[in-house]
Structure 1
Amino acid sequence: MNRNRLVPLMAAAAVAMAIPAPAQAAPVTEHADTQAVLDSYQAGAGPGAAVHAGNRTHSWEMHSGTADTNAQRSITPDDQFRIGSQTKTFTAVVVLQLADEGKVDLDAPIERYLPGVVDGNGYDGTAISVRQILQHTSGITNDLGKPEADPDGTYSLRETVRAALADPPQFAPGTGWGYSSVNFLVAGLLIEQTTGMSARDAITTRIIRPLGLTRTSYPRPGDRQLATPYLPGYIGGRSGPFFFWFDRTFAWELSQWATAGAIASTARDMATFDQAIADGKLISPTALAQMRTTVPIPGAAGMSYGLGLIRLDLSCGTQAWGHVGDTATGHSSGTFATDDGRHAALVTNTFVQAEGTTTRTQVIDSALCGTPAS
């Protein structure tokens, strides 16, 4: 998401709340190290945070703080929340499935599939490949611009792309790396053009239903709801022993984020999804190898970017694959899986704009490294 544009902290409809800081969850003896890291992360994050982890034979959870500022309860692995940029991995998988089917060439120019869409204002669709779009090496802007809403207040995918491309490129194609949600809006248009169906329907029929992700959904335009139980989202902060939170759970029209960040899911479903990618259940071995061909992420030691997928180098000497996500609805999250069957999904109920001394990837690293391989 474009943080500068999408996250005004004091929106007019916000309702402020101040509550005492809740007690931390009692440590799980077997994973006491991860509990300590999670507690440290939550101290600089939302009212609550939780991790769902495990391997092929068992899973475990731990939590810190509270899921709801109005009711003391722990975040569960089945609480639905908005996964933000973890949506990008779903979008990339569908494009790679289309590549497996011979319908998309990753090294073809985007102009072949979307003639005239990525053109003008410094853009040349004949010089930007599908691969560069999925890997954030296209140079396309990360500014979502000012799209014009339809009469019902929703946004079409084509309009969001048009508005974003009014902003000039970050750099010439293939000459750098620059994170861009607009890349994945373009990828959404590519899916629609190639499949003849909405990106929502393509992701649902190709990934969500086949994997049985019953708590995962790509919302229809105008649908801002979450399925019960859900994790409220907050924007705000803390002062001494008090939280000051603004509930933003239903404040945003999700169609503006579309294939870059609109999906809602749960920690359990996200672990299933990422493990399915690692296990080769969604794309061919050739496509998976392409997805995992990475370039460095500037300023992010131990992390590199493939095609809608992040490689995380773990402290225990292996790699995990997944993505992170942040949304202005007040959710920050991340899910990663390893080839030997370990997985970890983390969520907190605020948009963490600047991580403190403990980061979400440190929590995920601790959970993965503290879980035996299956």
Structure 2
Amino acid sequence: MATAVSTAMSTAVSAQTRLSTDHADTQVVLDSYQASAGPGAAVHAGNRAGSWDLHSGTAETGTKRAIGPDDQFRIASQTKTFTAVVVMQLVDEGKVELDAPIERYLPGVVAGNGYDGNRISVRQILQHTSGISDKFGNHKAGPDGTYSLREVIRAALVKPPLFEPGTSWRYSNINFLVAGLLIEQITGMPAAEAITARIIRPLGLTRTAYPRPGDRRLDAPYLPGYVGGRAGPFFFWINQTFAVELTHYATAGAMASTEENLATFEQALADGKLMSPAALAQMRTTVPMPGFPANMSYGLGLWRLDLSCGGHAWGHFGDLTTGHSSGTFATDDGRHAAMVTNAYVGAEGKTTRAQVVDSALCGTPVG
């Protein structure tokens, strides 16, 4: 049976006030979501005063272990927000211009087969309005079995553009591989090192990591990931936790973290701790997302979620075939909510993770 536990956001629990309500409404939503998601699901939420946790199902098949807020898992496309933050920091430093063509920084990379890097801006890449292909191509691994950013981008751009730059919107992992290559070109270091030095280390995200090429580990305690599904009362799950070479996704989806660390990151971003107010305002300038619910829009590597209780939250969702689907959002008044399920959820059921996040945020008082 699903249960609720309460915990503080950090080990210094004496310095924080636990939230005492049982959040029964959110538990119902979480249970409904988990019924068509993975073997388990969890949400970690709270405000500046403290945090609370709910879980449903199990973290690992064959056991009754609850998913914990410190369990490490693949955060998939939540990686995109980390990547976008580094690019925006480079904008703050005067090293990148948002409306400059990507050709200025990566000559010849976005070119040929209908692509012209002189007509695609950095902003359009971060906003998914570039028209760049949304499909991976037939990229070739190096001798060690890993992939370079340039090779994955090259193979993807064999496929023609989806539309003229700036005329539409389409979610594309390839955009954020280009953004990762931009980071490497400007900083002179691997994107993993830039993200670690600029975000992970300064925020003290000790359970967050950008893996080295070929490294598929997760640090204990970790959340196994599954693919599979249910058929009536029966279910089958295949453990895929370590099955994917993460350089395939790189700056679009390779990172690992925890619900607690992700809540800290998104709240720091919402609080303006990672870039200037002007840069954050640019990051939050959104466009509609065709095919998505009307209460969602997209900025620069950042998702806006309009809440049922009024106001909105900022964050990102993520899905990876390692068997993890998740999402983390924060508000300007200090509320945060991170959720995860231990399966790749290609098509959500009647209850969505956005509804879980919405319930958790709306059920948390400002504090």
- Per the normalisation by structure 2, the TM-score is 0.95
Q: How does 1:71-110 map to 2 (within 5 A)?
A: 71-110=63-102
Q: CA deviation at 1:320?
A: 0.1
1:316 — aligned with what?
309
Which one of 348, 355, 358 corresponds to residue 351 of structure 2? Answer: 358
Superposition pairs of residues 123-272 of structure 1, within 5 angstroms = 123-272=115-264
- Residue 276 (1) aligns with residue 254 (2): no
The answer to whether the 8 A contact 2:4-2:22 is kept is no
Alpha-carbon distance between aligned partners in 1 of 2:162 and 2:189, rounded to the nearest angstrom: 31
* Alignment match, 1:341: 334
Distance across 1 between alignment mates of 2:153 and 2:4: 47
CA contact (8 A) 2:324 2:342 kept: yes
Counterpart code for 1:172: E
Which of 90, 94, 111 aligns to 2:103? It is 111
In structure 1, the partner of 2:24 is 32
Could you tell me which residue of structure 1 aligns to residue 10 of structure 2?
A: none
Structure 1's unaligned 5+ residue stretches are 1-22
CA distance in 1, matches of 2:313, 2:175: 23
Partner of 1:287: 279
Cα distance, 1:120–1:342 mapped onto 2, change above 3 Å: same
Residues 131-172 of structure 1: CA deviation (Å, up to 9, x unaligned) = 000000000001111110001110011111111111111101
What is the Cα deviation at residue 27 of structure 1? 8.9
Tell me the distance in 1 between the aligned counterparts of 2:121 and 2:300: 12
Please report how far the alpha carbon of residue 24 of structure 1 lies from its aligned counterpart in structure 2 after TM superposition: 3.0
In the TM superposition, residue 238 of structure 1 has moved relative to its aligned partner by 1.4
On the 8 A contact 1:25/1:65 being kept in 2, the answer is no
Helix, strand or coil for the counterpart of 1:238?
A: strand
> What SS does the corresponding residue of 1:218 show, helix, strand or coil?
coil
Length-normalised TM-score, structure 1: 0.93
Once the two structures are superposed, what CA deviation does each residue of 1:65-99 show, in whole Å capped at 9, x if it has no partner?
Answer: 00000321000000000000000000000000000
Distance 1:123 1:308 in 2: 22
CA distances 1:192-237 after superposition (whole Å, capped 9, x unpaired): 0000000000000000000000000000000001000000000001
Q: Is the 8 A contact 1:27 1:35 kept in 2?
A: no
Question: Within 2, Cα distance between the matches of 1:317 and 1:37?
Answer: 19
Post-superposition shift, 1:30?
2.5
Structure 1 residue 299, shift from structure 2 partner: 2.4
* Counterparts of 1:243 and 1:200, CA distance in 2: 37
Measured against aligned partners, the alpha-carbon deviations of 1:311-346 in whole angstroms (never above 9, x if no partner) come to 000001101000000000000000000000000000
- Give per-residue Cα distances to partners, 1:267-295, cap 9 Å, x unaligned: 00000000000000001000000000000
* Residue identity in the other structure for 1:297: M
Equivalent residue pairs, number = 352
Q: Which amino acid aligns with 2:215?
A: D
Aligned partners of 1:47 and 1:243 also within 8 Å: no
The alignment's C-alpha RMSD in Å is 1.0
Deviation at 1:239, TM superposition (A): 2.5
Deviation (angstroms), 1:241: 2.8
| Structure 1 counterpart of 2:337, one-letter code | A
